Amino acid sequence: MIKSPLQIARESYSPKLPKALKGSVKIVEGKNTESVADQSDIQKLFPNTYGMPVLSFEAGDSSANNEVMNVGLILSGGQAPGGHNVISGIYDGLKKLNPANKVYGFLGGPGGLVDNKYMELTDDIVDHYRNTGGFDIIGSGRTKLEEEAQFDKGLENCKALGINALVIIGGDDSNTNACVLAEYYKQKNAGVQVIGCPKTIDGDLKNEMIETSFGFDTACKVYSELIGNIQRDANSAKKYWHFIKLMGRSASHIALECALQTQPNVTIISEEVEANNMTLDQVVEYIANIVAKRAANGENFGTVLIPEGLVEFIPAMKKLISELNDLLAHHEEEVNAFESNKEKREFVVTKLSPEMAEVFKSLPNTFANQLMLDRDPHGNVQVSMIETEKLLIDMVKAKLKKMKKAGLYAGKFSAQGHFFGYEGRCASPSNFDADYCYSLGYTASVLIAEGKTGYMASVRNLTASADEWIAGGVPVTMMMNMERRHGAMKPVIQKALVLLDGAPFKALADNREDWAINTKYVYPGPIQYFGPTEVCDLPTKTLIEESK
């Protein structure tokens, strides 16, 4: 494989570790824990893994197991920068404990465990991937591990390889499944521990003990560089409005972080749209009014950041999507049998409630077609396939036309649409993510050696220097509550949406009127890997605001 000069230089980067992980590690047990909500339900469902204490690591005498251990790794869900460093952290941690320990990677995500597709990781392989982006070392996938038959097959495959522990590197759904698996193996006394690692660029797997998921930092820095570049172009040419949709699934953390980094003219936050019960038309009106105000100052250009999950937070659209999810689950074959989108739409209208049929019919055809696309394996609408940025451009254009007629707008509106998501998911991890991921992986190896199961690796105090980071483990049951999924109440890790009373959102709300009218763009530039720490090692603005 041909490597770029940066890749070659990055190979020798030594990720920074918290000082407690540099030598022998002593485990300190905190208080027993409770789930965030629905305590008695969760306790009943997880009798063997509920209530365990939070663990933190200190330098000191270790009680870790030095016997030979074999560990299996699974990368689950969408790619996030730093996954390879989680793997190298686990690998180095385990090899340090005993060079005879073996690490296997299950291929192509959780499905690899069930289908017994794996490879043994060796020095040569791991060295090749250190500090690189992507999940290509073993691949990822979105197969859901939720049925006992899958757990039993996985156990059989682990036993054949002498695997004593699995590490599942994934988002909230994957870690929920990891916890169910941990409970199942513990209840069976199967001798296979399960540890989770918090991954997702979306930033929505976080709580009191997990300050951020890995990959969020790098992905946001990549998008912010691109937004900054676009803003500079907009401010130079002064002729386009750029509507930029940002990945992040339901939560708007990515849009919010990028807004704090680049100070665009408009930032839509889905959670606020929902809280204010806004209609799509009101969102459009909000944007159009800012376009008109800037035009009055002679500025017919600007930037609008749009979270990809927006449509799901507009109450009428949310209701429509939920009806469509049910409908498509029950009539998938019939819908797919139609040749044209027109026929599909006509069929769908007959199955929706009268109210939602009207909403559906009022949508532009391309948008309605996108809402009918296949769901993901978790039954979610694939928001990355919905071109909200184009929908908003068309609607803002139509609104401005009306405003012009009414004498409320005198300007030119020409817009470009963008969608940033895949550009950042496999980027070379920032120093923050390279260090954080390596520390998470190393932490997972300690949890395994200490015989723990049902824990998620946790590294906290992330706005301090890496030396001062606090590593440990958090029982996954602590993050759980009961939620309705596919028509039944299920235990799941509580998803963290943007908090409207949180410091990062307040930092946006306090400044957005100023940023809307006065051009106050910030141009963050590309991620720096070499150079002064105040340029290269900065955490996200979200973490900085939250730690104030």
User: Could you give the CA distance from residue 420 to residue 74 in angstroms, rounded to a whole number?
Assistant: 26
Least distance from C-beta 308 to ligand FBP, angstroms? 6
Chain residues 168-187 in contact with ligand FBP, contact rule CB under 6 A: 171
Q: Is the dihedral angle over the CA atoms 221, 222, 226, 227 positive or is it negative?
A: negative
Q: State which of residues 14, 63, 382, 518 lies at the interface with ligand FBP (CB under 6 A).
A: 382
Annotated catalytic residue, options 61, 152, 173, 202: 202
Whether 308 has a binding-site annotation, put simply, is yes
Residue 384 as a binder of ligand FBP (CB under 6 A): the answer is: yes
Instruction: Name which of 215 and 228 has its Cβ closer to ligand FBP.
Output: 215
Which residue is associated with the tokens 């969102």? 283
Window of 64-72, 100-108, 381-389, 491-499 that interacts with ligand FBP by CB under 6 A: 381-389
- Was 200 annotated as part of a binding site? yes
Name the one range near ligand FBP by CB under 6 A: 47-55, 179-187, 341-349, 378-386. 378-386
Q: Residue 533: which region, alpha, beta or left (left: phi > 0; alpha: psi -120 to 50)?
A: alpha
- What token pair was written down for 213? 């998921």
* N-terminal to C-terminal alpha carbon distance within the chain: 45
Residue that has been written with the tokens 């027109």 in this structure: 342
Local structure of 6: helix, strand or coil: helix
Query: How many chain residues touch ligand FBP (CB under 6 A)?
Result: 16
The annotation status of 525 as a binding-site residue, yes or no, is no
Token couple for 438: 């390596």
Binding of ligand FBP by 300 (CB under 6 A)? no
By CB under 6 A, name the one of 248, 302, 441, 475 that touches ligand FBP.
248
At residue 327, what is the residue type?
L
Per CB under 6 A, which region of 76-84, 154-162, 227-235, 403-411 contacts ligand FBP? 76-84
Q: Which is nearer to ligand FBP, 245 or 452 (CB)?
A: 245
> For ligand FBP, which residue of 221, 253, 345, 425 counts as binding (CB under 6 A)?
425
* Contacts with 364 (C-beta within 8 Å, 6 or more apart), sequence order: 391, 394
DSSP strands (E only) in 182-237 = 193-198
Stretch that binds ligand FBP, among 230-238, 326-334, 355-363, 380-388 (CB under 6 A): 380-388
* Three-state DSSP state, 277: coil
CB of 77 or CB of 472, closer to ligand FBP: 77
Least distance in Å: CB of 421 to ligand FBP? 6
Of 503, 523, 441, 407, whose CA–CA distance to 21 is shortest? 441
Q: Which member of 15, 18, 72, 78 binds ligand FBP (CB under 6 A)?
A: 78
Residues 249-278 as x/- pattern, contact with ligand FBP by CB under 6 A: x-----------------------------
Q: Which of residues 188-247 bind ligand FBP (CB under 6 A)?
A: 200-202, 247
Cβ density class 439-452: b for 16+ within 10 Å, e for less = bbbbbbbbbbbbeb
Among residues 283, 314, 383, 427, the one that binds ligand FBP under rule CB under 6 A: 383
Minimum Å distance from CB 252 to ligand FBP? 11
Residue 77 near ligand FBP by CB under 6 A? yes
424 is in an annotated binding site: yes
β-strand 470-475 against 53-59: which pairing, if any?
A: antiparallel
Nearest-angstrom CA–CA distance, 181 and 168:
10
Query: 239 a known binding residue?
Result: yes
Q: Which of 200, 205, 211, 198 is nearest to 457 (CA)?
A: 198
Q: Which of 63, 122, 59 is nearest to 91 (CA)?
A: 122
307 binds ligand FBP per the rule CB under 6 A: no
Query: Is 172 a known ligand-binding residue?
Result: yes
In the complex, what is the shortest distance from the CB of residue 526 to ligand FBP, in angstroms, rounded to a whole number? Answer: 21
Question: In the bound complex, what is the minimum distance in angstroms from residue 246's beta carbon to ligand FBP?
Answer: 9
Asked whether the CA dihedral 78, 79, 82, 84 is positive or negative, the reply is positive
Q: Residue 423 annotated as binding?
A: yes
Q: Parallel, antiparallel, or unpaired: how do β-strands 455-460 and 470-475 relate? A: antiparallel
Nearer to ligand FBP, 204 or 546 (CB): 204
Q: Is 202 a catalytic residue?
A: yes
Residue 530 burial by Cβ neighbours in a 10 Å radius (0-12, 13-18, 19+): exposed
Asked if residue 422 belongs to a known ligand binding site, the reply is yes
Asked if 433 interacts with ligand FBP (CB under 6 A), we say: no
Contacts 24+ apart (CB under 8 A), 144-148: 144/110, 144/173, 144/177, 144/377, 144/378, 145/110, 145/113, 145/114, 145/174, 145/177, 145/178, 145/180, 145/181, 146/177, 146/180, 148/184
- Is 78 assigned a ligand-binding role in the annotation? yes
Extract the annotated binding site for substrate.
200-202, 239-240, 247-249, 308, 422-425
Interacting residue ranges for ligand FBP, rule: CB under 6 A:
77-78, 80, 171, 200-202, 247-249, 308, 382-384, 421, 425
Q: Among all residues, which ones are annotated catalytic?
A: 202
Extract the annotated binding site for Mg(2+).
172
Extract the annotated binding site for diphosphate.
78
